[in-house]
Structure 1
Amino acid sequence: MISILTLALAPVAAIMTFIYFNKRIELEPLPLIFRTFILGALLVFPIMFIQYAFNVEGLLQSPYSQSFILAGLLEEFLKWFIFLFAVYQHREFDHPYDGIIYGVAISLGFATVENVIYLLANGAQYAWGRAIFPVSSHALFGILMGFYIGKAKFNTYHNKMWLLLALLIPVGLHGLYDLILTTTASVWIYLMIPFMAVLWYIGIRKINLANHNYPNVHTKAE
């Protein structure tokens, strides 16, 4: 049990540390980050119940429905909702990069519980694969969600459009990720590696943009 927890938490801690210390100005308060992480972790249980109920009833069972609705839309919508409900109006959310930090915290909270459950059920031998693909993909979806929520909060125009993109882009990418896993059988790895490489490239680019392209962010936050 200890080894499973260690293997599940190690990639989460590594990614969260990387995101946290990449902020160029004052660091965010750890209690708020921890709270958003816990909220993300708690999402696993209602999501698992809803997905189980749909499976039992035989609803939305096609690969496309499973990938884009029961996985992509359901999971990313609830993360997005939690972000808007618990973080968006918080006074500590005072820089666009903070959106990335809290988006990743929510996503990694979810990924941590999901990862622990999977490793307990299937064995520690899957830990490296889980770290490279599901855990990091959740973090990358969180980067994109947080980036666009940051744009929504700190721009005086197109706020609703940025909030919509903060939902739709992670939903689409999450759905595509799951679709690759469920429909490409033995060749999935050849599609997933370039897919993840592109996601990481985009994620790093968004991190740099959030850090450097907002010189006057406090005018609206104040």
Structure 2
Amino acid sequence: MTEEEIQATYSVQFSSLDEQILQLESELYRHQFLSGDRQHVVVHLLALRLIELARGCRLLAKAGLAAANASLGRQCLEVGFKLKAICNGKATPEDFFNQEIISREKSRSWVLKNPSALAVLSPELRDSLHQESQEASGKKLKEIKPYEWAERAEEVEVHLFAYSTLSDFVHSGPVSLGHIFDVKSNGQIYMQTGPSDYLIDSVIEGTCHCLASSANAIQKMFCDDPSAAPAQKASP
């Protein structure tokens, strides 16, 4: 399948994706996101990341880069889970930021426990890591796995049937390679190297759902906040 054939065959899906991107952008424009409100800041950042990833899905799908498109589609879903969970109050901005602290602690702990890793570090960096470890000790931070983000976002079904399927492409698992591999009747293997429309429908559908549910979650977040004021429209 050529890139031109993909764009012609899936023109309706691409139009739907463009429409949902515009809808989320419009929702960001309609509301006043305050720098002093951590929920506003995190939600706005995640929405911008989701829009960027969705545009990437559109470009990759049109180019027939199926595996890359599936990987990016999975990222869209994960961002959407976090955004919606924070919008609906089932997770806090602190929960979001703490994931970075937890991730850094895991890496630091591994280095500090491995003499071969410590040996290549400068004395200053080793001392810094030890100090960070001492400062972090005693802090009880909760790691939130993707499934729990989906659960808090009330998107468990999406995680089970879409996110889990696309995860195989992120890790280059055997399932993600199946669509490019075939065996001819004479036993000769065939590898597809050209543009592919594999999973375009599923990835775009999932991304559209993610964009729409995120826009709805942002709208509800502001409706539930009586102190929120609508954004002022820019002068023409």
What band does the TM-score fall into relative to the shorter chain?
A: 0.3 to 0.5
TM-score, normalising length: structure 2:
0.34
TM-score, normalising length: structure 1:
0.35
Q: Considering only CA atoms, is the larger Rg found in Structure 1 or Structure 2?
A: 2
